[in-house]
Amino acid sequence: MVEAAVVGLGNVGLRLAYDLASRGYKVLGFDSRGSRVERARKLGLEATTIDALSANIVYSKVESASVVAVAMPSEIGSRLSVELASRGLRVVDVSLLHTPPIRPVKGLLVAEAGASPGLTTLLAEAALKRRGEGGDLLVAAGSVSLDPEAPLGHAATWNVWDFLREYMEPGVVVVDGRVAMVDPLDPESWIELEWPGVGRLECFVGGGLKRFLAKKAPKLRRGLECSVRRPGHLKAMKLLRDLGLLSDAPVKASGCPVRPLDLLARLLERKSGGYKDLALVYVEYRGPGGRDSWLLSMEWSEGWSATSQLVGGMQATFTELVINGLLDDINGVVYPEDLASIGLESKVLSLAAERGIAATNGDVKLLSNLLR
């Protein structure tokens, strides 16, 4: 019997499938692209080509699996995951799920089961429980190229369209227990920090924790998540936006309609795809009962990008919980922070550490901070 069906064999999904198979689980992978299926087979994985955009076709192939892990671009992946879980399957998805499903979820959907959200929201919930409500939460996470001279300081190791849309949607902050929106490319909101062993970096306020921050706002004094980038990256992205290159609206070039966003994404894939990356995570909470902080960094290793190791490894961790029956009594939509609420924080962190994902006590020096 297949224990884990993995839908989507891009960088994250391939690592997820490889991780679970390496730990002895029966895994079957699916992807629309034949090249990705062949790459999986070369790693010794069982994989097949499928129309991953058709929920009916996917359901017919994965319905007998113990758990379905979806690793696709956010907009596509979240829709597929909700549909599969609504039909009674047990699903673990890395995509953002900003709004609850309209249809009842008969099965289980572990949503936002990646690094940030995912690991970071689990740690933040644990800190809130331990240190008390009414404090300040700062999450800094992201990936940068190991080579500072890479275009935009970026390594294209995950979906480029998802990467660019981070700059097109409002960031979210909590101020005095209320949610406020921030332009991610407003220089007044940018944050500078000094990362141990890495050096100076910059952050912009993102929307990756939008759902979590909106849910926890009444329990926070202030809070935000910022995405980590190399110095100079944000100024360059603001220029690209000002030039209209982050627009979905088609323009004519040589008589042909072209979406500037698509053009920019393709160029980034071509120019930034060969660079190795460094993944970074920092979570800090200051509450009435004290302060907690966690620090994590991972580098490209043995052909695996740092992002795929971190995000794919965390999704594999949450998937393993489901395979092993630790969530058998739960149906509906579950988020990583809910696992901290029911006492599974230590189990999640233990399984993650076995994969080399070990968040340790540590500090990042903030040179500027929107929370202060």
SS3 category, 122 = helix
266-321: pLDDT as tens digits: 998 888 777 899 999 999 999 999 999 999 999 999 899 999 999 999 999 999 99
Total domains in the fold of the chain: 2
Do 130 and 259 lie in a common domain? yes
Domain span holding position 68: 4-115+310-354
Token pair listed for 288: 């009435």
Taking 70 as the pLDDT cut, the residues of the chain under it are 98-99, 369-372
**Rounded distance between C-alpha atoms, residue 108 and residue 112, angstroms:** 13
Do 160 and 272 lie in a common domain? yes
Do 128 and 263 lie in a common domain? yes
Q: Could you tell me the end-to-end alpha-carbon distance of the chain, in angstroms, rounded to an integer? A: 53
Is residue 324 domain-resident? Answer: yes
Here the CATH number for the domain that contains residue 45 is: 3.40.50.720
For residue 275, the model assigns a pLDDT of: 87
For residue 368, the model assigns a pLDDT of: 75
- Contact of 185 with 246, CB cutoff 8 Å: no
Token pair listed for 243: 């030039």
pTM score: 0.94
133-167: pLDDT as tens digits: 999 999 999 999 998 888 888 888 878 888 999 99
